[in-house]
């Protein structure tokens, strides 16, 4: 398949975890791709991690099982790691290294691109300005998703983050415009991947989905490449083919663990919890590959999913992710326990791009105030509940009792919705007003006076 | 002319080791490999030099040549800086886009300042005059807002042998000649300055004037002086960037340098797109005309991120030397420290806390010490204020970057996660924040606004402190057991938080408050408190206080009274009197 003239060396000097050291080699370029061939003529890809005078350190992506010192060969491609990209890749399934896994005909590639991509010049970016109606009120009304945004889902094991992502994908389709989905699975179980594939099939979009699977049983080191493969294809489709691309990456925690593993065999100085000091820069090199570019009609929207170890949002992975992404959707175990789906904890959730994309001419003029008031009132509910657990509900003041009622309604009617229920912005905002209207008007100080006149209804929610 | 400095021995990420070195010195700028990637010498050891490369090092090979020009990493200082956007090593991003397209390729060399643009130079000195370093010999209208002063570079003193007459010139044209000890030095409209060295000044002077930011919680409770240093730490989502943007928009500095250091690309785009449309409330001109942007986003090379802070502060010092008050916003210094950590790790230095190098605090100190108010060499006064955001991992303020930063700043705006969760913005905590500038700035407020400022500020700080203790009680037993006078404190603090401390960045009336408006709002709330304190003794309940008509005026005063009708706000005390009289009559 690959036809370039390659220099080939026989024999390795050291094999150590996923790393190979070879000596007496020359003219080796840093970060370039190599092919490692074992006794059975199996070819694995590798990358030059360190290049020095007369030696090179190679990271083998397919794992080092079965490599021997004397009979393995190594070929230098003198190119950075490239991936073939094509619109034909939609509807196909690939492994974590971008090789087709299905038995369909070979793909004719339109281009070969460096998987590391290049930084978008900030002056060439367009500020995202089209919101996406996901049909989920806790996202639409309180943490609006915007096309070109990177909005991760912070979740925990056992929480329905896959369902939420699948529901967003199903409901957020923009009619009439060219769209596609790229799904990258890193270290997740086959069941999870199957769930997504079934869900794509069910909503009839499978033809428009490219799937990259690096499942739990494939070498962990491969996962470092999988999201880069997916994003390189996304960039090609979005910026060359003018397609709106939604990239779902799950689970980023597994990606970071692969990175930590690699860092530790390289003997690097760890920063927090054993993760390398460059985890932030590394994650940024993935997340920043979302957005829009001037004069180009396509876009990349990212929904990375990550499970937080012990539900700890201060763990380095969610922490650094939150510092890079434009907000986060946080799932909550307590809500899940109450049977509320989607269990989105609205208070710690955030959409940074929401401010410029809601309100008059975008959604509805009262949207900013409704969102702000719901946040403020629900935050108060948390305080009142804490107080009620100490002094009892009966001893609460009248207003506080109203807050308790508001809180229950908010969770049961506003947050809770069916897996197949699709609420418009309009419906979500009206529902917000219904629920807010059980609070006295004086409590709604985030609302503008004219909005209160127009929308405030007394006791419509029961 | 570039000469061969050595050959690559080893490549390890952004750090490249070279051997066979010729006479290169520490911090010399070098060009690495065939693509001439820009780098800087950061370590010399056993006949080898370690280069920190400011661009991606993919495909470099052992044996590739490295060239040096024998100068330290510098920036170009001259007209054309304003309204421009640069990367961490002062390459103009807009020019790069014109030349190279949407993505930033490696090894691009574009001059920082436009060589073709003609500037209207107006000389201010005459031939034969004795001149000294830093002296202003001419000026240019760089933008309609800012006059760019052409200064004699530091280190040059002598007689002005020749100066070009008024006219249009590009920056490459010689505009003056200075004769010094029988040797002649040519002067241009721009000068070069090494970024890691502070620009000289005559002396530092005390700070006495506030940097008015238009943000009430800042100006009234935790003010910063022109020439002061502030740290803004907060976990993600707490609103650091919005605070930085608000300051860049509304502060009354004459020049704003905004450094996006390892942050999001879209945020810089937001600044780029919104600043030309925003009108400065003080000068009525687009804000971009006074702004220099430095964008080294998180996915751009990490070594250039380390340099971006120095590039920014050097440009800030240059405008300070012209006699301007400059505000520098750095978002975020934690990303800068992380770049330092990554490079230190690649240099195989001994790590300390959390992997940071031992010189972290020395570097921070050096950086913050470059802020301040000074008498410049030309005899003007100018200042550089630094507002640096800090992104502590997990929101833990005891981590090394936050705790070291605290030693070198005098003002601390701690952002609070819980405030942000309830969308109380700016989410600056009134409990954890502090400002050591209050005493220095007292006089200014008293002379320019009102003599009771310090006292009223003290009253509200005291109330907020008492509220904190009362809330502990309320948490245990509920608010009903509190006596009316204590309930009033809770009520007043709640009013203060909603009506004063919260400020919407998206409401035209509310986004900027003048010092006068801030004071009147503060005064009204305290006046209301004192009046209520009196009538509470006469038996009014908190419910009744809430039902006074004026209550709604107070609670909504931030958006109800615009800057144009402050007299109405002044009238609020009369309204309070009136309402209370009416209640008493009932």
Q: For A112-146, give the secondary structure using H, E and C.
A: EEECCCCCECHHHEECCCCEECCCCHHHHCCCCEE
**How far, in Å, CA of A220 to CA of A253, rounded?**
12
- CB pair distance less than 8 Å for A27 and B61: yes
Please write the tens of the pLDDT for every residue from A248-289: 999 999 999 999 988 888 888 888 888 988 899 899 999 999
Three-class SS state of B141: strand
**How far, in Å, CA of B331 to CA of B260, rounded?**
5
Name residues of chain A where pLDDT drops below 50. Answer: 1-3, 461-462
Tell me how crowded residue A322 is: count the other CB atoms within 10 A of its CB: 22
- DSSP, residue by residue, B223-256: --BTT-EEEEE--TTSSHHHHHHHHHHH---SEE
- DSSP, residue by residue, A422-448: ---HHHHHHHHHHHHTTS-GGG-TTS-
- Closest approach of B100 to chain A, Cα-based (Å): 10
pLDDT at residue B9, as a whole number: 94
CB A91 within 8 A of CB A208: yes
Q: Residue B351 gets which letter from DSSP?
A: B
Using DSSP, how many helices (H) and how many strands (E) does chain B show?
Answer: 18, 26
Residue B393 is nearest to which of A128, A319, A391, comparing CB atoms? Answer: A319
Please give the backbone phi and psi of residue A328, each rounded to the nearest 5 degrees, phi first: -160, 150
**How far, in Å, CA of A300 to CA of A289, rounded?**
8
**How far, in Å, CA of B392 to CA of B233, rounded?**
7
Neighbour-count burial of B362, counting CB atoms closer than 10 A to its CB (0-12 exposed, 13-18 middle, 19+ buried) = exposed
A158 to chain B, any CB pair closer than 8 A? The answer is no
Residue numbers in A near B335 (CB within 8 A): 280
Angle A316-324/A252-265 helices, nearest 10 degrees? 110
Tell me how crowded residue A170 is: count the other CB atoms within 10 A of its CB: 19
**How far, in Å, CA of B253 to CA of B237, rounded?**
27
- CB pair distance less than 8 Å for A31 and B9: no
Residue numbers in B near A288 (CB within 8 A): 264-265, 297-299
Residue B62 is nearest to which of A53, A352, A376, comparing CB atoms? Answer: A53
**How far, in Å, CA of A205 to CA of A219, rounded?**
30
pLDDT at residue B285, as a whole number: 85
Name the nearest CA neighbour of B548 among B576, B523, B522.
B576
- Closest approach of B133 to chain A, Cα-based (Å): 37
**pLDDT, tens digit only, all 586 positions of chain B:** 678 889 999 998 889 999 988 878 888 999 999 888 989 998 998 889 999 998 888 889 999 999 998 889 999 999 999 999 999 999 999 999 999 889 988 888 899 999 999 999 999 999 999 999 999 999 999 998 899 999 999 999 999 999 999 999 999 999 999 998 889 999 999 999 999 999 999 999 999 999 999 999 999 999 999 999 999 999 888 888 889 989 988 899 999 999 999 888 888 888 888 888 888 777 788 889 999 999 999 988 888 999 999 999 999 999 999 999 999 999 889 999 999 988 888 888 888 888 899 999 999 999 999 999 999 999 999 999 999 999 998 888 999 999 999 999 999 999 999 999 888 999 999 999 999 999 999 999 999 999 999 999 999 999 999 999 999 998 888 888 899 999 999 999 999 999 999 998 888 889 899 999 999 999 999 999 999 999 998 888 888 898 899 998 999 899 889 998 899 999 999 999 999 999 888 7
Residue numbers in A near B355 (CB within 8 A): 269-271, 277
Handedness of CA A423, A428, A430, A435 (dihedral sign): positive
- DSSP, residue by residue, A230-250: HHHHHHIIIIIT--EEEEEEE
Q: Which CATH class is domain A83-356?
A: alpha beta
Q: Residue A90 gets which letter from DSSP?
A: T
pLDDT at residue B400, as a whole number: 93
pLDDT at residue A79, as a whole number: 86
Best A54, A281, A385 member to test B by mutation, with max B CBs in 10 Å, is A281
**How far, in Å, CA of B18 to CA of A462, rounded?**
75
**How far, in Å, CA of B334 to CA of B228, rounded?**
19
Residue A445 is nearest to which of B104, B480, B498, comparing CB atoms? Answer: B498
CA-atom Rg of chain B in angstroms: 27
Task: List, as ranges, residues 55-74 from A with C-beta within 8 Å of B.
Answer: none
- CB pair distance less than 8 Å for B477 and A391: yes
Name the nearest CA neighbour of B256 among B243, B247, B264, B269.
B247
pLDDT at residue A175, as a whole number: 54
Strands B229-233 and B411-412, by their bridges, are parallel
- Closest approach of A440 to chain B, Cα-based (Å): 13
Q: What is the pTM of this model?
A: 0.92
Inter-CA distances, B101 with A173, A228, A296, B97, B109, Å: 30, 22, 12, 5, 14
Cis ω for the linkage preceding A251 (within 30 of 0): yes
**How far, in Å, CA of B75 to CA of A151, rounded?**
37
Nearest chain B residue (CA) to A350? B237
Task: List, as ranges, residues 262-321 from A with C-beta within 8 Å of B.
Answer: 268-272, 277-278, 280-281, 284-285, 288-289, 291, 293-294, 296, 314-316, 319-320
Residue numbers in A near B542 (CB within 8 A): none
Residue numbers in B near A396 (CB within 8 A): 478
pLDDT at residue A63, as a whole number: 80
H helix runs in B254-301, sequence order? 265-274
Nearest chain A residue (CA) to B106? A118
Residue numbers in B near A7 (CB within 8 A): none
Angle B438-448/B515-537 helices, nearest 10 degrees? 90
Residue A175 CB partners (closer than 8 Å, separation 6+): none
CB B367 within 8 A of CB B313: yes
CB B289 within 8 A of CB B144: yes
Q: What angle do CA A138, A139, A142 make, to 5 degrees?
A: 70
pLDDT at residue A462, as a whole number: 46
Three-class SS state of A219: coil
Residue A361 CB partners (closer than 8 Å, separation 6+): none
A51 to chain B, any CB pair closer than 8 A? The answer is yes
Strands (E), A268-390: 292-293, 299-307, 327-330, 350-351
Task: Give the fold, CATH level 3, of A7-80.
Answer: Thrombin, subunit H (2.40.10)
Nearest chain B residue (CA) to A270? B355
pLDDT at residue B480, as a whole number: 81
Name the nearest CA neighbour of B341 among A429, A3, A272.
A272
Residue numbers in B near A372 (CB within 8 A): 423
**How far, in Å, CA of A393 to CA of A411, rounded?**
18
CB B294 within 8 A of CB B259: yes
Report which secondary-structure segment, H or E, holds B304: helix B302-321
**How far, in Å, CA of B504 to CA of B512, rounded?**
9
* Cα B126 versus chain centre, distance: 37
- CB pair distance less than 8 Å for B104 and A120: yes
**How far, in Å, CA of A246 to CA of A234, rounded?**
8
Q: Residue A276 gets which letter from DSSP?
A: B
Three-class SS state of A82: strand
Inter-CA distances, A398 with A380, A390, B101, B512, Å: 14, 17, 63, 36
- Closest approach of B11 to chain A, Cα-based (Å): 5
**How far, in Å, CA of A153 to CA of A306, rounded?**
6
ipTM comes to 0.87
Name the nearest CA neighbour of A388 among A367, A411, A405.
A405
Residue numbers in B near A27 (CB within 8 A): 61-63
Task: List, as ranges, residues 102-131 from A with C-beta within 8 Å of B.
Answer: 116-128
Q: Where are the domains of chain A?
A: 7-80, 83-356, 367-455
Best A27, A121, A449 member to test B by mutation, with max B CBs in 10 Å, is A121
Contacts A–B by Cβ distance under 8 A: 219
């Amino acid at each position: 398949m690959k036809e370039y003239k390659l220099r080939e060396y026989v024999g390795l000097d050291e094999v150590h975890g996923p790393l190979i050291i070879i000596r007496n080699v020359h003219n080796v370029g840093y970060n370039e791709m190599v092919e490692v061939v074992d006794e059975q003529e199996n070819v694995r890809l590798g990358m030059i991690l360190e290049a020095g005078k007369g030696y090179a350190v190679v990271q083998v992506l397919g794992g080092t099982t079965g490599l021997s010192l004397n009979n393995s060969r190594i070929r230098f491609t003198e190119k950075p790691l490239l991936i073939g990209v094509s619109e034909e890749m939609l509807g196909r399934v690939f492994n974590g290294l971008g090789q087709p896994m299905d038995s369909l005909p070979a793909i004719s590639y339109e281009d070969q691109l460096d998987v590391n991509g290049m930084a978008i010049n900030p002056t060439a970016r367009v500020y995202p300005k089209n919101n996406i109606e996901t049909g989920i009120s806790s996202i639409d009304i309180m943490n609006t998703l915007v096309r070109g945004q990177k909005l991760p889902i912070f979740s925990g094991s056992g929480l329905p983050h896959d369902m939420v992502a699948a529901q967003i994908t199903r409901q957020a389709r923009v009619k009439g415009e060219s769209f596609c989905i790229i799904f990258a699975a890193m270290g997740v179980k086959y069941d999870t991947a199957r769930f997504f594939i079934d869900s794509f099939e069910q909503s009839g979009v499978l033809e428009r989905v490219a799937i990259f699977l690096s499942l739990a049983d494939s070498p962990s080191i491969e996962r470092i490449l999988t999201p880069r493969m997916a994003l390189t294809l996304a960039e090609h489709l979005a910026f060359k083919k003018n397609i709106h691309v939604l990239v779902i990456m799950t689970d980023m925690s597994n990606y970071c663990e692969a990175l930590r593993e690699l860092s530790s065999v390289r003997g690097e100085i760890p920063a927090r919890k054993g993760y390398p000091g460059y985890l932030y820069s590394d994650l940024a090199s993935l997340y920043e590959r979302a957005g829009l570019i001037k004069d180009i009609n396509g876009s990349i929207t990212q929904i990375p999913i990550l499970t937080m170890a012990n539900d700890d949002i201060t763990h380095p992975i969610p922490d650094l992710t939150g510092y890079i992404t434009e907000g986060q959707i946080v799932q909550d175990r307590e809500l899940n326990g109450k049977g509320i789906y989607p269990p989105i904890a609205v208070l710690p959730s955030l959409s940074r791009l929401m401010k410029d994309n809601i309100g008059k001419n975008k959604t509805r003029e009262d949207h900013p105030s409704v969102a702000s008031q719901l946040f403020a009132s629900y935050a108060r509910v948390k305080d009142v509940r804490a107080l009620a657990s100490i002094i009892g509900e009966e001893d609460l003041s009248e207003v506080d009792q109203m807050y308790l009622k508001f809180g229950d309604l908010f969770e049961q009617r506003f947050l809770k919705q069916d897996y197949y229920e699709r609420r418009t912005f309009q419906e979500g905002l009206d529902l917000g007003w219904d629920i807010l209207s059980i609070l006295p008007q004086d409590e709604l100080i985030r609302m503008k006076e004219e909005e209160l006149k127009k929308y405030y209804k007394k006791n419509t929610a029961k | 002319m570039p000469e061969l400095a050595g050959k690559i021995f080893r490549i390890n990420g952004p750090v490249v080791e070279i051997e066979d070195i010729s006479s290169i010195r520490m911090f010399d700028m070098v060009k690495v490999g065939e693509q001439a990637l820009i780098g800087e010498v950061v370590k010399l050891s056993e006949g080898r030099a370690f280069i920190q490369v400011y661009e991606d090092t993919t495909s470099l090979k052992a044996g590739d040549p490295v060239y040096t020009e024998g100068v330290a990493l510098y920036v170009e200082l001259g007209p054309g800086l304003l309204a421009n956007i640069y990367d961490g090593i002062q390459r103009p991003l807009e020019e790069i886009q014109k030349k190279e397209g949407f993505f930033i390729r490696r090894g691009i060399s574009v001059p920082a300042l436009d060589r073709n643009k003609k500037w209207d130079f107006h000389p201010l000195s005459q031939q034969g005059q004795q001149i000294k370093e830093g002296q202003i010999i001419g000026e240019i209208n760089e933008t309609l807002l800012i006059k760019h002063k052409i200064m004699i570079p530091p280190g040059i003193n002598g007689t002005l042998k020749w100066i070009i007459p008024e006219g249009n010139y590009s920056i490459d044209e010689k505009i003056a000649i200075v004769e010094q000890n029988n040797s002649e030095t040519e002067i241009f409209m721009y000068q070069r300055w090494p970024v890691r060295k502070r620009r000289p000044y005559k002396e530092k002077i005390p700070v006495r004037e506030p940097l008015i930011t238009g943000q009430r919680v800042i100006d009234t409770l935790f003010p910063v002086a022109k020439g002061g240093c502030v740290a803004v730490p907060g976990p993600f989502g707490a609103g650091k960037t919005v605070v930085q943007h608000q300051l860049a928009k509304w502060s009354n500095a004459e020049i704003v340098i905004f450094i996006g250091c390892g942050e999001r690309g879209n945020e810089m785009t937001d600044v780029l797109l919104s600043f030309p449309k925003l009108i400065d409330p003080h000068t009525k001109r687009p804000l971009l005309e006074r702004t220099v942007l430095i964008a080294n986003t998180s996915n751009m090379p990490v070594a250039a991120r380390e340099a971006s802070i120095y590039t920014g502060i050097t440009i800030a010092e240059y405008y300070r030397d012209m006699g301007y008050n400059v505000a520098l916003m750095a978002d975020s210094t934690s990303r800068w420290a992380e770049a330092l950590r990554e490079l230190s790790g690649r240099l195989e230095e001994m790590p300390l806390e959390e992997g940071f190098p031992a010189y972290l605090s020395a570097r921070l100190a050096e950086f913050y010490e470059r802020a301040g108010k000074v008498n410049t060499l030309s005899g003007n006064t100018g200042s550089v204020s630094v507002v640096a955001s800090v992104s502590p991992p997990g929101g833990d303020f005891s981590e090394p970057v936050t705790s070291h930063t605290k030693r070198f700043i005098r003002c601390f705006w701690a952002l609070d996660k819980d405030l942000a969760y309830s969308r109380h913005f700016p989410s600056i905590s009134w409990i954890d924040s502090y400002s050591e500038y209050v005493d220095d700035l007292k006089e200014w407020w008293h002379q320019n606004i009102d003599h009771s400022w310090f006292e009223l500020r003290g009253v509200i700080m005291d109330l907020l402190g008492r509220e904190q203790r009362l809330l502990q009680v309320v948490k245990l037993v509920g608010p009903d057991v509190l006596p009316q006078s204590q309930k009033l404190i809770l009520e007043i603090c709640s009013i203060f938080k909603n009506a004063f401390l919260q400020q919407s960045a998206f409401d035209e009336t509310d986004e900027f408050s003048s010092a006068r408006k801030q004071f009147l709002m503060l005064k009204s709330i305290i006046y209301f408190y004192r009046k209520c304190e009196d009538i509470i003794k006469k038996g009014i309940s908190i419910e009744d206080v809430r039902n006074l008509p004026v209550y709604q005026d107070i609670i909504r005063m931030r958006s109800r009274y615009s800057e144009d009708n402050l007299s109405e706000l002044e009238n609020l005390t009369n309204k309070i009197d009136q309402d209370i009289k009416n209640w008493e009559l009932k």
